[in-house]
Structure 1
Amino acid sequence: MQLNDALTILCICMFFLFSQTLPATAQKKPNQNPNVVIILADQWREQAIGYLGKEKVQTPHIDSFAKGSLTITQMVSNYPVCSPARAMLLTGTYPLKNKVYSNVNSASGPYGVELPADMICWSDILKAKGYSNGYIGKWHLDSPHKPFIPTSNNTEKLAWNEWTPFEKRHGFDYWYAYGTYDVHNHPMYWDTKAPRDSFHYVNQWGPEHEVDKALEFISNKKGLRKEGAPFSLVVSMNPPHSEYQTVPEKYYARYKNIPMDSLLTDPNIPPAGTPMGDDYRKDVKYYYANITGIDEQIGRLINGLKDHRLLDNTIVIITADHGNCLGKHDEVSKNNIYEESLRIPLIIYWKEKIKPGIDEQFLGSMPDLFPTLLELTGYKKAIPKSIDGQSYASYFLNRSGPMPAEQFIMGGVPSSNVKLNAGFRGIRTARYKLAYQKKGSTVEGFLFDLKNDPYELNNLYNRDHEQVKVLRPKLLQWLRKTNDSFVVNE
């Protein structure tokens, strides 16, 4: 062997040996940032999940998936209405910062109620970090304007549905969405490149069709996302929002023969013969059927991630924008102080990273998901200092460390252009909930002991009650901090 050949072989061997002993951070690795999939359902109360055993609803796919996930049972929608909740989730801020003071429609449009184009969302940040982002389904954050889109929920008197301009999609490159539209068995969508007047209808149940599109995004056979880059995907399903009876028959069939009395065991359901009591009995089986349908679609989506070997490094979040009283407490659905309206599912999965289990103590709030998600994806330093939410990534990973001491709830937030004579503000702890509800010039106080009175049948409010003395100053401090003009008096 020639000397030069020997030296070459020696150099190759030394290089190989040295490369094996380099610290992990010094070696070039494939991208390790996790993918993100958020499944967002509309009007789904936390109590209506099978494995939690609170209501007789069938969710076998979620029940199975939850065994390896973290379930937060005390998660709330701090403003339990569609548009405000979605804005809090995307921006990490409360309505007085993100401008989504109420549901977005043509009545609120003149007051500037919509998500501003220059508002920073977590999706904007992930986009800047190289993520390929997709959004499928309901958006409901852009104000309708004339000429209104000719869909059935848009009239000259009140319009709800609107196209989202390209510059207002907040980093979502792939777009298959609509504003808001409740005909679930004949939904409509705009494609990524479709102009405002080029939406299309689909003869398929919305959640099923949306998961079909999500699986196309995941497989990437059509080049819908940047190959090799991490991705985020939001699948925003409208059911179990009304109209409940548009659910496919195969899901309703699972409940059709269940005795109604077995579904009426909660004491806060109004009696038959009352308007809300009759509505509850008319809708509850259909409501559960929609949730069972959502469950099946979630199962399809999870299996798609598995089939493409993406689940192991994907953070999956299953949640909702708000809950649904469905008639309980004489409330038709959401936007009230009760647990069925406020409490929403929060199931988080990240294989061998998120510690699984059912957590009944953590007090989750919508704005906290923004910073928590950014820290989990490796971008803690990119979290804007101006947001209201706090990151609890370390708690989700280890189930130890600081937790929120309370949650703040609200409804009917006034803007600088409009004054409201209705609404509510409140503070909720692991055991108690204090709330003030305004109707005209009257403000009524509510205090519930959620441990001893989980159905909120006994209002304990008294200005001299010990918990009122503890919680009221905290609520007042929060109102001052957030520049909220709501006046707490009674």
Structure 2
Amino acid sequence: MNLLFQWFFPVYCLVMSFPFHKEPSFQSIKPNLVFILADQWRAQEMGYMGNTQILTPNLDQFASESLIFENSIATLPVCAPWRASFLTGQYPLTHGIFYNDKPLPNKALTLGEIYKEAGYQTGYIGKWHLNGHKRGEEPFSGRDKPVPADRRQGFDYWKVREVTHDYNNSFYFDEKDEKQTWPGYDVFPQTDSAISFMTKNKTKPFALVLSYGPPHDPYFSAPAEFKKLYDASNLTLRPNVPEEFQDSARRVLAGYYAHATAIDHAFGKLIRALDSLGISDNTLVVFTSEHGDMLMSKGVLKKQRPWDESIQVPLLIRYPDRLGKISRRIKNPIGTPDLLPTLLGLSQLEKPSTIEGRDFSDELISGKDISNEASLIMLPVPFHEWRFANGGREYRGIRTSRYTYVKDLRGPWLLYDNQSDPYQLTNLVDNPKYASLQKELENLLQTKLKERKDEFLPADEYMTRWNYLYDRQDSLRASNYLQINR
């Protein structure tokens, strides 16, 4: 027996010293990143936010295990600018994408490149909207062309369309620039592609962006089984929808909800697939949107405007290994440029010096709210559906956890107490009772602008600086533009 023990014990010690017998800690394993992006989904349209008429069961369940950001703010609430700020962690007047369909410079350091350099497999599926078109080319001419390999900003797995708002049997381009088709409603095969990517890379760290087109208009093109879930006549509208627009608003809202519930269905499939792969605990999953949609609040549709329906977006983050799976609500605002550095912090990757946003990962891990008093909102150049001729105007503002304060080139424009006036029905600007509050918010805005070295100039100044041309009729404005009554 002694001889057997003398032989066995050294072998046992040697085997037990091998790394695969040790419990891995999160510090030694790179987390995966799955970033799911919807287009034009406003924050208010979620079950977990108290909306009882929209059906989002999978997102609601996910929210019950996630951080819920109640004031996730689109710094510049429109498509390409949001994407550029998210991928670079920079503000629009730094990266230069403050207008749709302008090309993000190749020199930009982006999420895909940072994670790839850290050893990640990188993938992007769906809408891109950052290749743009060259100066002088026909507006929107780049939307149906492939994105060259050197313009993919570090993403290798590539199933992408620059821009489309046709969500049925739409086409895309693969890694070889070969044209392919998403069969049926594209949200579903795009989700299947994401699941395939995750499955193939489950044993190595990966970073994946899945970018859906809906619920962006057209509002009435979701699959029939989702459209039948909503009867427009029974929908309740926000109180800030003018009476004369309410019938059309209900029809639009029903179609919008159908898109949203279809995405929720696909999201549930993706999360269940991730769970079945056994890598959920070490995967950082994010769900958010580029901007909201007015949906006839204030009598208008779509985005760019500084009201909450446009600037507030859903933001859920789940990462069990570091954040646990107990839901927690974050009250203070987070802006678009803050997303990338915060994700890098949660991934334990170094924040490059090019990033301007703030990393809130330590506070999130510690269980605190984030230490951000206000997030900047801006529109350096109004364009397209909110061009000058349609009432568009340049603005800068801030959104705190309670207040909205906005200036245009003529001076203070909007002031809302969103706690007592959640539908922003009463503008308090220049109301003597709120003079001290307005001064406080003005000082805070000026501090934010000084940090960004933002001079708040007229739109033409920025278009000239970046050698951009206005699209079509965007530049037309009334001769008395700065004197028009608010």
The separation in 2 between residues aligned to 1:34 and 1:391, in whole angstroms, is: 17
Code of the aligned partner of 1:305: L
Q: Determine the structure 2 residue equivalent to 1:204.
A: 184
C-alpha distance after superposition, 1:262-321 (max 9, x if no partner):
422x2101113x4xx454233010001110001000001001111221212111100001
Code of the aligned partner of 2:290: D
Q: Determine the structure 2 residue equivalent to 1:237.
A: 212
Q: 1:248 aligns with which of 214, 218, 223?
A: 223
Deviation at 1:351, TM superposition (A): 1.8
Q: Determine the structure 2 residue equivalent to 1:12.
A: 11
Q: 1:366 aligns with which of 305, 314, 336?
A: 336
The separation in 2 between residues aligned to 1:174 and 1:23, in whole angstroms, is: 33
The separation in 2 between residues aligned to 1:115 and 1:128, in whole angstroms, is: 20
Preserved CA contact (<8 Å) 2:332 2:374: no
SS in 1 for 2:225: helix
Code of the aligned partner of 2:221: T
The separation in 2 between residues aligned to 1:455 and 1:147, in whole angstroms, is: 41
Q: Determine the structure 2 residue equivalent to 1:89.
A: 86
SS in 1 for 2:168: coil
C-alpha distance after superposition, 1:207-266 (max 9, x if no partner):
11210111111222xxxx5x732001111001000011111010010003x633x422x2
Code of the aligned partner of 2:218: E
The separation in 1 between residues aligned to 2:294 and 2:337, in whole angstroms, is: 23
Q: Mapping of 1:51-130 within 5 angstroms?
A: 51-54=48-51, 56-104=53-101, 113-130=102-119
Q: 2:438 aligns with which of 468, 482, 486?
A: 468
The separation in 2 between residues aligned to 1:204 and 1:306, in whole angstroms, is: 26
If the length of structure 2 is used for normalisation, what is the TM-score? 0.85
Preserved CA contact (<8 Å) 1:73 1:358: no
Q: 1:377–1:59: structure 2 CA closer, same or farther, 3 Å change rule?
A: same
Code of the aligned partner of 1:93: Q
The separation in 2 between residues aligned to 1:322 and 1:13, in whole angstroms, is: 59
C-alpha distance after superposition, 1:378-412 (max 9, x if no partner):
21xx2012321111112222322652111110013
The separation in 2 between residues aligned to 1:126 and 1:371, in whole angstroms, is: 12
The separation in 1 between residues aligned to 2:2 and 2:319, in whole angstroms, is: 55
Preserved CA contact (<8 Å) 2:127 2:213: yes
Deviation at 1:444, TM superposition (A): 5.1
Q: 2:32 aligns with which of 32, 35, 41?
A: 35
The separation in 2 between residues aligned to 1:171 and 1:468, in whole angstroms, is: 44
Q: Determine the structure 2 residue equivalent to 1:481.
A: 451
Preserved CA contact (<8 Å) 2:338 2:359: yes
Is 1:185 the counterpart of 2:165? The answer is no
Q: Determine the structure 2 residue equivalent to 1:399.
A: 367
**Structure 2: unaligned runs, 5 residues or longer:** 383-387, 459-481
Preserved CA contact (<8 Å) 1:47 1:55: no
Is 1:133 the counterpart of 2:109? The answer is no
* Aligned structure 1 segments of 4 or more residues deviating by more than 4 angstroms: 5-10, 16-20, 22-25, 145-148, 487-490
Q: Determine the structure 2 residue equivalent to 1:339.
A: 308
The separation in 2 between residues aligned to 1:134 and 1:147, in whole angstroms, is: 31
The separation in 2 between residues aligned to 1:323 and 1:393, in whole angstroms, is: 25
The separation in 1 between residues aligned to 2:223 and 2:2, in whole angstroms, is: 78
Deviation at 1:129, TM superposition (A): 1.1
Preserved CA contact (<8 Å) 1:371 1:389: yes
Q: 1:389–1:238: structure 2 CA closer, same or farther, 3 Å change rule?
A: same
The separation in 2 between residues aligned to 1:51 and 1:65, in whole angstroms, is: 10
C-alpha distance after superposition, 1:19-49 (max 9, x if no partner):
69x9979x9x996111110100000000001
How many corresponding residue pairs?
Answer: 447
Q: Mapping of 1:251-330 within 5 angstroms?
A: 251-256=226-231, 259-260=233-234, 262-264=235-237, 266-272=238-244, 274=245, 277-330=246-299
The separation in 2 between residues aligned to 1:354 and 1:204, in whole angstroms, is: 37
The separation in 1 between residues aligned to 2:212 and 2:13, in whole angstroms, is: 56
Preserved CA contact (<8 Å) 1:55 1:263: no
Q: Mapping of 1:140-179 within 5 angstroms?
A: 140-145=129-134, 156=138, 158-159=140-141, 161=143, 162-179=145-162
Preserved CA contact (<8 Å) 1:95 1:413: no
Code of the aligned partner of 1:361: K
Code of the aligned partner of 1:375: G
The separation in 1 between residues aligned to 2:2 and 2:22, in whole angstroms, is: 35
Q: Which sits farther off after the overlay, 165-174 or 336-345?
A: 165-174
Q: Which sits farther off after the overlay, 198-207 or 175-184?
A: 198-207
Preserved CA contact (<8 Å) 1:432 1:448: yes
The separation in 2 between residues aligned to 1:285 and 1:446, in whole angstroms, is: 30
Code of the aligned partner of 2:189: H
Q: Which sits farther off after the overlay, 94-103 or 8-17?
A: 8-17
The separation in 1 between residues aligned to 2:345 and 2:150, in whole angstroms, is: 26
**Structure 1: unaligned runs, 5 residues or longer:** 105-112, 149-155, 415-419
Preserved CA contact (<8 Å) 1:279 1:326: no
Q: Which sits farther off after the overlay, 127-136 or 399-408?
A: 399-408
Q: Determine the structure 2 residue equivalent to 1:152.
A: none
Q: Percent identity?
A: 32
If the length of structure 1 is used for normalisation, what is the TM-score? 0.84
Code of the aligned partner of 2:416: F
Q: Determine the structure 2 residue equivalent to 1:153.
A: none
Preserved CA contact (<8 Å) 2:47 2:60: yes
Q: Determine the structure 2 residue equivalent to 1:432.
A: 403
Q: 1:10–1:206: structure 2 CA closer, same or farther, 3 Å change rule?
A: closer
The separation in 2 between residues aligned to 1:55 and 1:360, in whole angstroms, is: 21
Q: 1:456–1:55: structure 2 CA closer, same or farther, 3 Å change rule?
A: farther
SS in 2 for 1:56: coil
